[in-house]
Amino acid sequence: MKKFALVLPLEQLAAVAEGKLIKIRECTCNAVASLEEADENTVVFFQDTKFEKAFAESKAGIFLIPEKLDLNTLPKRNYILCSKPYFSFLRIVAYFLQSTQKPVKGRDIHPTAIVAESVIIPDNITIAANAVIGENVVLGDYSSIHENVVIKNDVVIGERCCLFPGVIIYSEVQIGCEVSIHAGSVIGSDGFGYIWDGKKHQKIPQVGRVIIEDDVEIGANVSIDRGALGDTIIRKGSKIDNLVQIAHNVEVGEYSILCSQVGIAGSSKVGNNCIFAGQVGIADHVKIGNNVKIGAQSGVPNDIPDNKIVLGYPAIDIGLQRRILASLKELPDMRKYFHRLKKEETNVHS
């Protein structure tokens, strides 16, 4: 359960949820929780029938439920009827969270922050302790730069961005609006490029950029390398989990999801609306189509066309891969059967 200082009446909760209020008793709420943890001042949601028992026993103050449910079959309680209860619940959680966050208003620059004179500082900005901002950086209005962030020269950051503690932004990176980058992530480091010259591994200079478009969220300890010549691009709306590695000249399409420990090798292209589960590995120069889903720990050495769901190494159609995996447990018996047949055939011919 998460409690907040803000206390909301049912009518305001219904307005935030964009639903229809069915009120049986007066109530105010200041918390969100699961069905099991809720008390009489808590907002919860219910939409999955497998949680019917928890729903029936919950003590929540108000329930967000699907509008299609028949109220005559439900206990007499406070409800908000919603087309999508979980999405409405998320709006309420976000509304509560806004009440706990200090708004970015005016210039709040900590005295230990080091900000170059050439930096374009907007009217509304927060720059926390020990942040270092280099020459010719452009900072967007209403953005927040947390403790120990380092922003190198010639970086552009859009409006309403948040860089959490310890983020490092290398030079010439471009970041759009409403981008969040969590602690410890490194954006714009050199791509991993070397060539053997007969005596040693000669470094290939990495002179491209990283471009991050609007509404992107990047988790903690993510590394996104700059392009060798062109740019590494993260398109708008994409979400990147913790511990992801994106190599030089990769392009990630719009509204794609990269889960933890995904690794994408250089110059690969990822389409729009893709989902890569944990520990997926993409080889270099691979093209992934739109709406592709890749199961956990899969390895992708070859291109994948649009609208495919794949799994395994090498990643193949998930239906076929599941049949292959199901067959593996039968291999010991199949081996015994094969050897018995082989022995019988030998006896026949002897």
pLDDT of residue 347: 77
Taking residues 216-233, report their average pLDDT: 97
277-310 pLDDT tens trace = 999 999 999 999 999 999 999 999 999 999 999 9
Indicate if the pLDDT at residue 101 is higher than 90.
no
Taking residues 62-81, report their average pLDDT: 95
Indicate if the pLDDT at residue 74 is higher than 70.
yes
pLDDT of residue 350: 63
For every residue of 248-314, DSSP letters joined together read TT-EE-TT-EE-TT-EE-TT-EE-TT-EE-TT-EE-TT-EE-TT-EE-TT-EE-S-B-TT-EEETTT
Q: How far apart are CA 235 and CA 216, in angstroms?
A: 8
pLDDT of residue 346: 78
Residue 320 host element (H or E)? helix 318-328
Indicate if the pLDDT at residue 200 is higher than 80.
yes
55-64 pLDDT tens trace = 999 999 999 9
Q: How far apart are CA 160 and CA 203, in angstroms?
A: 37
Taken in order of first residue, the domains within the chain and their CATH numbers are 2-100 (3.40.1390.10), 107-322 (2.160.10.10)
For every residue of 57-101, DSSP letters joined together read H---SEEEEETTS-GGGS-S--EEEESSHHHHHHHHHHHHHHHHS
139-154 pLDDT tens trace = 999 999 999 999 999 9
Q: Which residue has the higher pLDDT, 335 or 232?
A: 232
- Degrees to nearest 5, angle at CA 248 with 246 and 252: 50
pLDDT of residue 261: 98
Question: Looking at the DSSP assignment, which residues form a beta bridge with residue 262?
Answer: none
Residue 58 makes CB contacts below 8 A (sequence gap 6+) with 35, 36, 38, 44, 46
Taking residues 208-218, report their average pLDDT: 98
Indicate if the pLDDT at residue 248 is higher than 90.
yes
Which positions are catalytic?
248
Lowest-pLDDT range, 98-107, 197-206, 269-278, 298-307? 98-107
pLDDT of residue 123: 95
In eight-state DSSP terms, residue 138 is B
